[in-house]
Amino acid sequence: MKVKIEIDTKTFVRFWLVVIGFGLAGLAIYSVRHALTLIAISLFLALALNRPVAALAKLLPGRSRLGGTALAYVILVAILSGVVWFVIPPIIQQSAKFVENVPSMIENASLQWHIVNDFVDKNGLRSQVDVTLDNLKNQASSWAAGFGANIISSIGSLASSIATMFLIVVLSFFMLLEAPIWVSRFWNLYDDQEKMERHKKMVGRMYGVVTGYVSGQLTVSGIDAIISGIVVFIMSMTLTGVDSNLAMLTIAAMFVLTMIPMFGATIGGVLISLLLAFNNLTAGIIYAVYFVIYQQIENNVIAPAIQSKKMEISALTVLVAVILGMYVGGILGILVAIPSAGVAKILLENYIQQAKLRRMESKKPLNKLVKKLKNQD
C-alpha cells in the first residue's frame, strides 16, 4: 500500500528557510564562540557580585551604585592579591627543593640502572632496550629543539590569559554599573502587562539559577579548600618534611580547581597528593585517603544540600553540558556550561508551557461551536 503525501510549495519553502536559518545562526554562533564565552563569563561574574554590590551601595552615601561596584572590586582584588602573596612563596620553595634533590635523584637512578642493566644482560634483552633508548633519545632531541618555541608559546599564552582576565573584569564591572538602567529600559518596551509579568517571573528563575549555582559552587569549593588546608597544616605539625606553607598553596589550588565541574576536584586531589608525596610519602598517602573519603561525603551530603534546589537538572544533562562547554570554550566554557544548561532548561519549559496554553486556547472556539451545534440538534 502506497501513501502519497502532498506538500504545497509555500510549506516546502518555509521548511527549508527555517533549516537554512538555523544553520546560518549556528555557524555565526560558532564563529564568535570565544567572544560569546567571554561575555558569558563576564555576565556570570556580574551576577555573582550583584548582591554584594547592592549591599555595599546601601551602606554608602547616596546609595552610589558606582561606589558599591568599585568597593566590591577593590575587596575582590585585595583577596586575590593576598592569596597570591601566600601561594607564590611555597611554589618557589618547592621548585628550589626539587632542583636541590635532582643530583640525589640522578644518583639513585644510576644505582637502580646497574640492577636493571644486569637483568637485561642475563635475559638477552639488550637489543630491544637499545632500540627503545635510541627512540627516547630522538624524542628528547626533538623536544629540546622545540623547547625555545614552547617557552615563547607559553609566554604568549600567559599574556593572552592575563588580557582575557582583564577584559572579563572590565566587562563585568560595566555590566554591574549599568545593569539597573538597561533592565529598566528593557521592561519599558513591553505593552502587554500580563506578558511582562510572565517574562519577569521567567527571568527571575533564570537569575536564581545562575546566582544559586555560582554561590553554591563558591561555597562548596571554599569548604573543600579550607578542610584540605587544615589537613595539610595538621600534617605539617606531625610529619617531617611537610612545610606549613603548603597549607595555603593547598587552599588556593583546591579552591580554584574545584570550581571546574566534574573532574576539577580530582585533578586538585591528585596534584596535592603528589606534591605531598614528594616531600613525605606518608603525607601523600594520608592526603589521598582523606581526599577519597571527603569526595564521597561532598558528593552525597554537602553538594546536594547546598546545590540540589539551585539547578534541578539531571546528571546526564550536566555531563553533556560540560562536554559541549569544553568543546566550544575550553576551561571557560566548562565553567559556564552548567548554569547555561539550567537557563536553557527554564527557557525550554517556558516554551513548552506556552505552546500548551496556545493549543488549549485554539481548541476553545471549536468546543464552543460543537456545543452550539449539539444544542441546535
Phi, psi of 71 (to 5 degrees): -65, -40
Distances (CA, A) of 183 to 48, 187, 200, 288: 17, 6, 11, 48
284 Cβ neighbours under 8 A, 6+ residues apart: 273, 274, 275, 276, 277, 278
- Tell me the domain boundaries of the chain: 34-189
* Ranges of residues in the chain whose predicted pLDDT is under 70: 1-12, 83-84, 87-88, 90-159, 306-312, 329, 361-377
174 contacts 39 by C-beta, under 8 angstroms: no
Q: Which residues contact 54 (CB under 8 A, 6 or more apart)?
A: 68
Helices (H), 280-314: 281-297, 303-311
Q: Residue type for 38, please?
A: L
Residues with Cβ within 8 Å of residue 323, at least 6 apart in sequence: none
CB atoms within 10 A of CB 186: 12
Cα angle 68, 174, 44; round to 5: 90
Cα angle 168-154-268, degrees, rounded to a multiple of 5: 70
Report the distance separating Cα 291 and Cα 275, nearest Å. Answer: 14
The secondary element (H helix, E strand) that includes residue 207 is helix 193-238
Distance CA 219, CA 340 (A): 19
Using an 8 Å Cβ cutoff, are 89 and 252 in contact? no
- For position 34, what pLDDT does the model report? 75
The grid coordinates listed for 207 are: 537569575
In the block, cell 566554557 appears at: 333
- pTM (2 d.p.): 0.64
